Amino acid sequence: MIVYGSTEGQTRKISEFLRDEAEKAGHTPALFDAMVAPPAPDEFDAVLVASSLHGGRYQVTIRDFVQTHHKSLNKMKTGFLSVSLTAATDEPESWKELKQQTEDFLLETGWKPSFIEQIAGALRYTQYDYFKRFIMRMISKRSGGDTDTSQDFEYTDWDQVKGVIHKIEEL
């Protein structure tokens, strides 16, 4: 089972990629958008939960899913995929904050995933309104990132994402 929460589509894209890779590996994955009330995870062998992180918070629909099912999830093979722009940086202070945000989410929900994967997301400048594009450009500039707002930038390491299938298989 793969459950995802996405704002701008990168986490959905990552989840669809995972589904396709799981199928290639001989599994029968089921993909669910957390916005559409996914089923209980009990009938699945393993669960991957993917959520984008915006403004220091994970998707509310993912939080609700995990809080509702944390007891079942804690008895299963599970992985948490945290998707953010911070994962694309090399700034130790930013990574410290990212790890704290992830820990806070897991404490709040009561979930203890088998593993956590921090995955770099994307900057979707062409999809942002003027205000968000301005803010995201300033954040990116401060961290030495891409600032050309006429195009989008994808930072996801697809080999890292592919490795998630191997991690869940090895549990």
How confident is the model at residue 16, as a pLDDT? Answer: 98
Mean pLDDT, the chain cut into blocks of 10 residues (171 residues total): 96 98 97 96 97 95 98 98 94 94 98 98 94 92 89 97 97 93
How confident is the model at residue 143, as a pLDDT? Answer: 79
Q: Cβ contacts of residue 130 below 8 Å, gap of 6+?
A: none
Q: Which H or E element spans position 97?
A: helix 92-109
How confident is the model at residue 60, as a pLDDT? Answer: 97
How confident is the model at residue 90, as a pLDDT? Answer: 87
How confident is the model at residue 161, as a pLDDT? Answer: 98
How confident is the model at residue 55, as a pLDDT? Answer: 86
For the whole model, what pTM was predicted? 0.94
How confident is the model at residue 62, as a pLDDT? Answer: 98
How confident is the model at residue 144, as a pLDDT? Answer: 82
How confident is the model at residue 126, as a pLDDT? Answer: 94
Q: Cβ contacts of residue 71 below 8 Å, gap of 6+?
A: 110
* Residue-range domains of the chain with CATH: 2-121+156-170 (3.40.50.360), 125-155 (no CATH)
Separation of alpha carbons 3 and 153, rounded Å: 24
How confident is the model at residue 139, as a pLDDT? Answer: 86
How confident is the model at residue 96, as a pLDDT? Answer: 97
Q: Which H or E element spans position 116?
A: strand 115-120
